[in-house]
Structure 1
């Protein structure tokens, strides 16, 4: 009798567990691609849910969600776009949470070079890559840094723009631009630049790159669980390891 009851419980658990699992499609700002992949790997070890990640520029995702793109959550590189979606009734306002503050790096793929603000003007006519400031918060931060260094006019003909921070990184990594503004998470771990050479742009040269997440489909259990996971200690450990901070990021 006991064996029969146990067998029924096992069968019931086997049938119910998949029903409790859910799948979510999450739009993620390009700068956060590596941390997001590691976070999902850890999340799926702990949860029955599955997460599909899609990477791109925050502005493109904002427009796509407005046009009905099937995303369940949005990890933006700023506050503005998820906040606008909430105001437009396209996102759950009470789910809006900061998940990271990013750092900007002036970077070259060449190793063992001394890179600093002076590198921008010592570039001998070479191109300087950055993400499009109209589409990507990291591009806006790069533009602010250039302006605050008083180099806007001097560098006007040197700048080449990618749609997002991943394209800016590719310009430099492939040699199409000797220098570029990228996210620290793309070239370093634990706050240290591990690829090429770079200069961690002082935070006072640009507005803080505060990154926010928001739920787009409230009834999706996987998306809700993933955003909740981002606030936990294991997720924060992973996020910190890519050079992000969380201090003063909460709304």
Structure 2
């Protein structure tokens, strides 16, 4: 082998090692409603940056408790804006890293075609045994669901029919499997490319509950991880925003 080729291969090898050294994993806590779009974004993030986002999805309130107890998460994608703000005030985040990555939409959904009407009147008719909602104490979409029932004056009437999911993912499963005829879920769970993917739905008017502003933040454990900063910046880019919008979210 010539000296020129040797030097070329050596340079290529050094370049690959440098890339490998710079590529990092980042541990990400993701609100359950954002699990599907985040998986799509993470795949593109890996292709475009070499970094790998390791995702864990669940209820925002539970993640808060886990972060307080030292969980190894480095980036947190919340289902609200108040939990990241609280972590900010407690000194558990990288100052100045918090921003709104999506604004969520609540939907009343049934796996049955034609079951939920376009105005949500099915709730007043009461022709069902079970209505699924996420735990309002730990899941912002659950809190929005209960606010909607309050707005409609139906909380007391339907209290005995509520089936509570630990998070919005479990709530959607209750409805998808028929354990509940209908339920309040995130639009992103049943919507893709400008249409409801299955069943029937009523998109809850935004004025029925507080805005579901979803904030992301770099946590203190991610302070020195370049992949954490890279992921947050990637979420602000056009490619990630296109994915976010395709799942029915609004952008701030």
Unaligned stretches of 5+ in structure 2? Answer: none
Q: Classify the secondary structure of the residue corresponding to 1:94.
A: coil
What residue is the counterpart of 1:8 in the other structure? 10
Task: Name the CA distance, whole Å, in 1 between partners of 2:223 and 2:187.
Answer: 32
Q: Classify the secondary structure of the residue corresponding to 1:71.
A: coil
Q: Classify the secondary structure of the residue corresponding to 2:179.
A: coil
What residue is the counterpart of 1:98 in the other structure? 100
Q: CA shift at 1:114, angstroms? A: 4.4
What residue is the counterpart of 2:249 in the other structure? 244
RMSD of aligned residue pairs (Cα, Å): 1.2
Q: Classify the secondary structure of the residue corresponding to 1:51.
A: strand
Structure 1 residue 193 and structure 2 residue 196: aligned? yes
- Contact persistence 2:132–2:175 (CA under 8 A): yes
- Contact persistence 2:128–2:181 (CA under 8 A): no
- Contact persistence 1:107–1:196 (CA under 8 A): yes
What residue is the counterpart of 1:117 in the other structure? 120
Q: CA shift at 1:180, angstroms? A: 0.1
What residue is the counterpart of 1:88 in the other structure? 90
Count of aligned pairs between the two proteins: 247
Deviation readout 1:159-178 (Å, 9 max, x if unpaired): 11111101110111111110
Q: Quick check: 62-71 or 185-194, which moved more?
A: 185-194
Question: TM-score, normalising length from structure 1?
Answer: 0.95
Q: Classify the secondary structure of the residue corresponding to 1:89.
A: coil
Structure 1 residue 230 and structure 2 residue 232: aligned? no
Task: Name the CA distance, whole Å, in 2 between partners of 1:132 and 1:240.
Answer: 26
Q: CA shift at 1:5, angstroms? A: 3.4
Unaligned stretches of 5+ in structure 1? Answer: none
Task: Name the CA distance, whole Å, in 2 between partners of 1:17 and 1:46.
Answer: 12
Task: Name the CA distance, whole Å, in 2 between partners of 1:11 and 1:168.
Answer: 50
Q: CA shift at 1:113, angstroms? A: 3.3
Structure 1 residue 180 and structure 2 residue 150: aligned? no
